[in-house]
Amino acid sequence: MTRKDFKIISNWVKADSKVLDLGCGDGSLLKILNEERNVTGYGVDLSVDKIIKSLDNNINVVHTDINNRLDYFTDKSFDYVILAQSLQVVDNPINLINEMLRIGNEVIISFPNMGYWKSRLYLFLRGKMPVTNELPFSWHSTPNIHLCTINDFREMCELNQFTIVDEVISSNRNESVPTKFLSNLLGESAIFKIK
Amino acid sequence: MDTVIEQKLKVTEPLHLKCGNVLKTYELAYETYGQLNTKKDNAVLICHALSGNHHVAGFHEGDNKPGWWDNMIGSGKPINTDKLFVVCMNNLGGCHGTTGPVSINKETGSEFGFDFPIVTVQDWVRTQKVLMDALEISKWQFVIGGSLGGMQAFQWTLDYPEYVSNSIIIAAAPKLTAQNIAFNEVARQAIMGDPDWCNGNYLKSKKIPKRGLALARMLGHITYLSDKSMAKKFGRDLKEKKFNFNFDVEFQIESYLRYQGEKFVDSFDANTYLLMTKALDYYDPFNEVDFEKKIATSKSKYLLLSFTSDWRFPPSRSEDIVKTLINHNKNVSYACINSDGGHDAFLMKNDNYFEVMRNFIENNIDD
């Protein structure tokens, strides 16, 4: 996850709110949100190494599996539930988003866009699954089992009646990609806020 | 490291126990490690488990074995005595210096024995607070315990919320299950069924219920280890490499358990064992009438730890506590450590476990 994503999420999150960060990694997002927005909350991660790093960032962190153990958290007990750059690794994205909507008032999800022109070009020219800096794994050893494009994501939201309330599509060069029409081609990474 | 010495606090203020009895006077045995700073605010309380005592770290004069948690506590260790002043007390009803069944009851002139009143986790926390006041400690930076000790570390945040900054609860449970109580009951029956127990008055009869206490310990010990760790350590290894077709000790595990039982009898009192198991059985803070009121007042930060192979207090029991704390908006972190060590893993060196402890403690020390 990039600092740019942090900035966008930090801009979306209201001061003094309560945040649950799923797949929190080393806890730096929560740390920044705490410093910039005075948020409280918890990170969740499955890796004990990440728990250790999160504790070093002095955030609250719970060691559990976001795929099936979100029973720790009661209905509508958080202002925001965030899933940053982890949608592609979860077992069942729709189940998870439903769980996130159960727990939080708003859900923020960021993910890498497989519709980005470089990914398309990679597949088109080489005839192989794209291996990039952001997704550096071969098809057989990747944890990224549910990669999607921005159009795929929008379609899933529509089918499941998830309401998109805000979005930022960005590429490495530009802060954001303005043209909605071309976002699936020019956007490298997407952040959606849904309800 | 310098040798450590046991200290005693004589208390003359009567103690009204949860069971309704009153102890008019009592003594608390404790040890300390590191230096209390001038502001007296760098203190840590360690709470011991069922068979533990106050000798938690360092060496007694002439001993070659350190205290029971010496790998965790000391200079440069996760509970760092370069910065922190560590206190550990033998719990009331114990048999290592604090008033308990082997102590003389001043009213009768002989040992309390089986007449020693039933003590609870809440009573222990209260006497730990008495010691805290005597040492003029303003606030515990950390209260830390494993197993039954973890229950005390949790109870502190409920009973004295103003006096605890951080509570570290390791391999614990919010209450015992039927299976846990069942194991305790078998242990008690082993002791009480020993003819040398003499209805609890074995000290007067100059006897010791060795068989019963050893059996209780053997049973307990099995529940502290995991199937995997026993398989790894003993497997089906034989002492004499062949079957003898009799009932003497043949398998190494039998030999080990007997040794553990016999060793325990030399250092532990049977009536204390009964009391400690009862304290475990009774503990159930979530179902106390004033729990909601108490948890609302807790300002403590919490760290919970569990171990994958612990079946005495499995991870799910720690997670019950984590869930309750999250639902009450407490600052809580939780890690489940991969270990074959069973319940006893909390006493063993493990890189991930120690890193979790170190990072939590270092980032929450208030210098």
pLDDT tens-digit readout, B276-320: 999 999 999 999 999 999 999 999 999 999 999 999 999 999 999
pLDDT tens-digit readout, A86-120: 999 999 999 999 999 999 999 999 999 999 999 99
Q: Which CATH number fits domain B180-278: 1.10.1740.110, 3.30.70.60, 3.40.50.150, 3.40.50.1220?
A: 1.10.1740.110
Could you give the CA distance from residue B338 to residue A73 in angstroms, rounded to a whole number? 24
Could you give the CA distance from residue B160 to residue B179 in angstroms, rounded to a whole number? 31
Could you give the CA distance from residue A78 to residue B259 in angstroms, rounded to a whole number? 54
How many CB atoms are located within 10 Å of the residue A117 CB? 16
Q: What pLDDT sits at residue A61?
A: 98
Burial readout A125-153 (b: 16 or more C-beta within 10 A, e: otherwise)? eeeebbeeebbeeeeeeeebeebbbbebb
Tokens at residue A185, please?
């081609």
Q: How far is B321 from chain A (nearest CA, A)?
A: 10
Position B353, amino acid: Y
Mean pLDDT of chain A: 93
- Indicate yes or no: CB of B363 within 8 angstroms of CB of A56: yes
How do the domains of chain B map onto residue ranges?
7-176+284-364, 180-278
Q: What pLDDT sits at residue A175?
A: 62
- The helix (H) or strand (E) run that includes residue B191 is helix B178-192
Could you give the CA distance from residue A138 to residue A126 in angstroms, rounded to a whole number? 14
CA–CA distances in Å: residue A73 to residues A17, A83, B328 = 16, 15, 11
Tokens at residue A17, please?
């709110």
- Residue B331: closest C-alpha in chain A: A60
Number of H helices, E strands in chain B: 10, 12
Position B138, amino acid: S
Res. A174 pLDDT band, cuts 50 70 90? low
| Higher per-residue confidence, B343 vs A5 | B343
Which residues of chain B carry a pLDDT beneath 50? none
Q: What pLDDT sits at residue A127?
A: 95
How do the domains of chain A map onto residue ranges?
3-114+147-194
- Indicate yes or no: CB of A63 within 8 angstroms of CB of B336: yes
Asked if the model's pLDDT at residue A179 lies above 70, the reply is no
Q: What pLDDT sits at residue A122?
A: 94
The fold of B7-176+284-364 is Rossmann fold (3.40.50)
Q: What pLDDT sits at residue A132?
A: 86
Which of B322, B4, B44 is closest to A71 using CA atoms?
Answer: B322
- Residue A76: closest C-alpha in chain B: B327
DSSP string computed for B84-118: -EEEEEPPTT-SSSSSSTTSB-TTTSSB-GGGSPP
Q: What pLDDT sits at residue A135?
A: 86
In which residue are the tokens 């043209």 written? A179
- From the candidates A53, A60, A66, A81, which should be mutated to test the interface with B, based on the most B CB atoms within 10 A? A60
Are A103 and A70 a contacting pair, CB within 8 Å? yes
A46 vs B: CB within 8 A: no
- The helix (H) or strand (E) run that includes residue B356 is helix B351-364
Q: What is the CA radius of gyration of chain A?
A: 16
- Indicate yes or no: CB of B335 within 8 angstroms of CB of A73: no
Burial readout B334-364 (b: 16 or more C-beta within 10 A, e: otherwise)? bbbbebbbbbbbbbbebebbbbbbbbbbeeb
Which of B69, B34, B65, B66 is closest to B51 using CA atoms?
Answer: B69
β-partners of residue A103 are none
For chain A, percent helix, then strand, then coil, each to nearest 5?
35, 25, 40
Q: What pLDDT sits at residue A180?
A: 73
Query: Average pLDDT for residues A7-18, to the nearest whole number?
Result: 96
Position A131, amino acid: V
Q: What pLDDT sits at residue A4?
A: 79
- Indicate yes or no: CB of B319 within 8 angstroms of CB of A64: yes
Q: What is the pTM of this model?
A: 0.96
- CATH 3.40.50.150 for the A3-114+147-194 domain, yes or no: yes
DSSP secondary structure letter of residue B200: G
Tokens at residue B159, please?
């009973």
Instruction: Just list the catalytic residues of B.
Output: 147, 310, 343
For chain B, percent helix, then strand, then coil, each to nearest 5?
40, 20, 40
CB contacts of A74 in chain B (<8 Å) are 327
Could you give the CA distance from residue B146 to residue A55 in angstroms, rounded to a whole number? 20
List all residues of chain A from 59 to 98 with a beta carbon under 8 Å from chain B. Answer: 60-64, 71-74, 77
Of A139-143, A178-182, B210-214, B333-337, the one with minimum mean pLDDT is: A178-182
Q: What pLDDT sits at residue A176?
A: 67
Could you give the CA distance from residue A160 to residue B139 in angstroms, rounded to a whole number? 52
The complex scores an ipTM of: 0.94
Position B139, amino acid: K
Of A52, A64, A74, the CB nearest to B356: A52
Tell me whether strands B22-23 and B79-80 are parallel, antiparallel or unpaired. Answer: unpaired
CA–CA distances in Å: residue B34 to residues A98, A175, B75, B167, B175 = 51, 53, 8, 20, 33
Q: What pLDDT sits at residue A178?
A: 66
DSSP secondary structure letter of residue A162: P
